[in-house]
Structure 1
Amino acid sequence: MSSPIWSFFKVSDKDVKLAVCNVCRDKIPRGGSKQRHFNTTNMIRHLRTRHTTEYAEYEKLNQLKPTTSPFLNQPTVSDAFKRREPYSRDSTRWKDITFRIMEFICLDEQPLSVVEDKGFRRLLSCLDPRYDPPGRKYLTDVCLPTLYQTVNTNIDRLLKDSVYISFTSDIWSADACPMSLLSLTAHFIDSNFERHNIVLHCQDFTGSHSAEKLVNAFSGMFQSRGIQREKIHAILTDNAKNMQKAMRDADFPGLPCVAHTLQLAVHEGVLSQRSILDITASGRRIVGHFKHSPLAYTRLENVQKQLGQPIKKLRQDVSTRWNSTLYMFQSVLEQKSLQNTNRHARSQFTSGN
């Protein structure tokens, strides 16, 4: 009853199928015997033919009434087809989605080829059918340099606003290929007291790893970022002699890494003992046997299941990480306890029979 016609009519108290005219008190049929068939056609015709003044007022009210019909705002056929066309690469929507894809690849360390994977493209098509993703070449040639420039500008701003900056650095060498990389990571707190860890450089470091060459490399990295010497709070490195000498020769505030110092102390104080070396070698052989034999590992898991124990795998150690050797010992000792439990259970079963 939201039509303006009801300003001139009311529903009959005796019969809801009739409407009573407020002017002449005539009873007008509402257009059907059931409520879903009711309409206002007869009432409008009654005003138009019998009460011209009231009909003019109704016309004015009807023009002022906001329409709620879903059919009045329907798009044209051309507009409907246009809304199904792929986004133009110049459109804001296409650029925004492409930027987020490039950001996703960088943040989550995904390969650039993911944009060409069938499953990834199906996902994008489901989320927005009008978006046509670019190929990896477009990401490499256009998106990646743009994102790099944006991030680089933001890093320069953060470094410029910081008062003091601490750094960590290390030389990483690969066993599979003759390659070494020198890293430099900045650590600082901004004006909002938020901590930042930013990898500034990770560059190829070929040739001799002499202290002189390290000094030149560090000086070049600081200079490329416009970092003055007075801003350098500390440079944390390992205990390698060439690295320590480079810090002294360049008069940088160098500090040795606590974790690496502890590694050297444990290695010299504990792992250099003959008895520990023999135990370590035995542990490595045990773990190595299960690592290289799927059958042996399957049997170990079956024993763990039979005893109702959680499935635990043996851990291999890394010679440059003393705590990994500790974890290896712990995993082997757990299996030894499991073996003792298994022997005890079998002896109980035998004695019972």
Structure 2
Amino acid sequence: MALRKPSIKISGVWNFFSIKSNSERIAVCNMCNTELSFKSTSFNLKKHIERKHPLVNLRLNEPQDNQTKLRKNYDTFTNEQEVAPVPSTSASSIQTSESIESNIPCLPTKSTVARSKVQSTVKTFLRRKLDTTANKKINDTLMLLFIHDYQPFTVVEDYGFKKFVGALNPSYQLPSRKTITNSILPALYDEAYNAMTRELSEVQSVTLTTDCWTSRNGENFLAVTVHFLNADFELQSRVLDCTSCNIQHTSKNLAEELRKIIQEWGIENKIIMFISDNAANIKKGCKR
């Protein structure tokens, strides 16, 4: 009995799907093994590619000469091959079906060449150079390692970390420790500084808290924090400065340091309250 000729699938989408064994209406995705039903068109299969595998979405269409070649190969095979009927439950039936399927030259989904083409397309797409906006977004996220998690800059030179980042996005070029120190971090600081300056310029009044302390190695520090309500009446707190203050902690010297910080942020006429601990020098310095 001659092999029944199924409908010819010449759409480029069939480079990524196989027809499920013993079924003419179920297609299996070669990339994720998802089973999808289809009827007379491949619309459902194309939508799956667009949703689940967008990286190959733009390479679905095969050149017309390839489609013609596939059609010709299939016609030649089906006109020349004869297959004897055997019981569907026998082991020989399974062996015969597998043998026939492996020898059909027209099925692009079973073609090694087609699979290689898909892999090459995806690989090329993934390594396309990132635009400036996408690259900056990833750089800013990378900086969270150092700003929030206090990781050393040398982490970008670790072999395992570089491999991990490359696996996530091969198109991203991991910056060096020097680039982070000299370029990315200063630029991020400038952005934060400008945003905070604009934020403080829009508020009417603020409250300041301050404290002085000496570290274990004998270094003196002075910190100032500003508190205010934003336009939505939400309490906001921002550290204005935390500076090394290796001068004698007299009320005059502390008052001078506080005045510099206040003038830098342009809030001289917005302060309604200054809060500190009960040390005499800082209390007197705040009143100056």
| TM-score of Structure 1 vs Structure 2, range by shorter chain | 0.5 to 0.7
What is the alpha-carbon distance in structure 2 between the residues aligned to residue 195 and residue 118 of structure 1? Answer: 43
Q: Which residue of 1 aligns with 2:254?
A: 214
Give identity over the alignment, percent: 28
Does the 8 A contact of 1:168 with 1:235 survive in 2? yes
Cα distance, 1:110–1:186 mapped onto 2, change above 3 Å: farther
Q: Which residue of 1 aligns with 2:182?
A: 141
Per-residue CA distance 1:270-322 (angstroms, 9 max, x = gap): xxxxxxxxxxxxxxxxxxxxxxxxxxxxxxxxxxxxxxxxxxxxxxxxxxxxx
Does 1:129 find its partner at 2:117? Answer: no
Does the 8 A contact of 1:170 with 1:182 survive in 2? yes
- 1:127 corresponds to which letter in structure 2? L
Cα distance, 1:247–1:162 mapped onto 2, change above 3 Å: same
How far residue 77 of structure 1 moved from its aligned partner, in angstroms, is 9.6
Does the 8 A contact of 2:127 with 2:170 survive in 1? no
Q: Which residue of 1 aligns with 2:69?
A: none
How far residue 91 of structure 1 moved from its aligned partner, in angstroms, is 3.9
Matches within 5 A, 1:165-180: 165-176=206-217, 178-180=218-220
What is the alpha-carbon distance in structure 1 between the residues aligned to residue 234 and residue 262 of structure 2? Answer: 23
Q: Which residue of 1 aligns with 2:274?
A: 235
What is the alpha-carbon distance in structure 2 between the residues aligned to residue 226 and residue 39 of structure 1? Answer: 77
How many pairs are equivalent?
Answer: 191
Q: Which residue of 2 aligns with 1:191?
A: 231
- Structure 1: runs of 5 or more not aligned: 1-30, 42-64, 251-353
**Greater length-normalized contact order (CA 8 Å, ≥ 6 residues apart):** 2
Q: Which residue of 2 aligns with 1:38?
A: 6
How far residue 104 of structure 1 moved from its aligned partner, in angstroms, is 4.0
Does the 8 A contact of 2:221 with 2:243 survive in 1? yes
- 1:117 corresponds to which letter in structure 2? D
Cα distance, 1:233–1:104 mapped onto 2, change above 3 Å: farther
What is the alpha-carbon distance in structure 1 between the residues aligned to residue 181 and residue 150 of structure 2? Answer: 14
What is the alpha-carbon distance in structure 2 between the residues aligned to residue 195 and residue 92 of structure 1? Answer: 32
Cα distance, 1:78–1:214 mapped onto 2, change above 3 Å: same
- Structure 2: runs of 5 or more not aligned: 10-39, 47-58, 63-116
Q: Look up the SS of the partner of 1:207 in the other structure.
A: coil
Residue of 109, 115, 138 corresponding to 2:150: 109
Richer in helix (by share): 1
Residue of 186, 189, 202 corresponding to 1:161: 202
Per-residue CA distance 1:11-38 (angstroms, 9 max, x = gap): xxxxxxxxxxxxxxxxxxxx844xxx42
What is the alpha-carbon distance in structure 2 between the residues aligned to residue 81 and residue 120 of structure 1? Answer: 21
Q: Which residue of 1 aligns with 2:72?
A: none
What is the alpha-carbon distance in structure 2 between the residues aligned to residue 125 and residue 114 of structure 1? Answer: 14
Q: Which residue of 2 aligns with 1:98?
A: 139
What is the alpha-carbon distance in structure 2 between the residues aligned to residue 78 and residue 123 of structure 1? Answer: 21
Comparing 124-133 and 152-161, the one that deviates more: 124-133
Q: TM-score, normalised by structure 2?
A: 0.58
Q: Look up the SS of the partner of 1:146 in the other structure.
A: helix
Comparing 137-146 and 124-133, the one that deviates more: 124-133
Matches within 5 A, 1:44-123: 68=43, 72-73=60-61, 82-85=124-127, 87=129, 91-123=132-164
Cα distance, 1:113–1:73 mapped onto 2, change above 3 Å: same
Does the 8 A contact of 1:214 with 1:246 survive in 2? yes
How far residue 78 of structure 1 moved from its aligned partner, in angstroms, is 8.3
How far residue 66 of structure 1 moved from its aligned partner, in angstroms, is 8.1
Does the 8 A contact of 1:184 with 1:202 survive in 2? yes
- 2:129 corresponds to which letter in structure 1? Y
How far residue 144 of structure 1 moved from its aligned partner, in angstroms, is 0.8
Could you say what the CA RMSD is over the residues aligned between the two structures, in angstroms?
Answer: 3.0
Cα distance, 1:222–1:180 mapped onto 2, change above 3 Å: same
What is the alpha-carbon distance in structure 2 between the residues aligned to residue 86 and residue 196 of structure 1? Answer: 42
Does the 8 A contact of 1:32 with 1:38 survive in 2? no
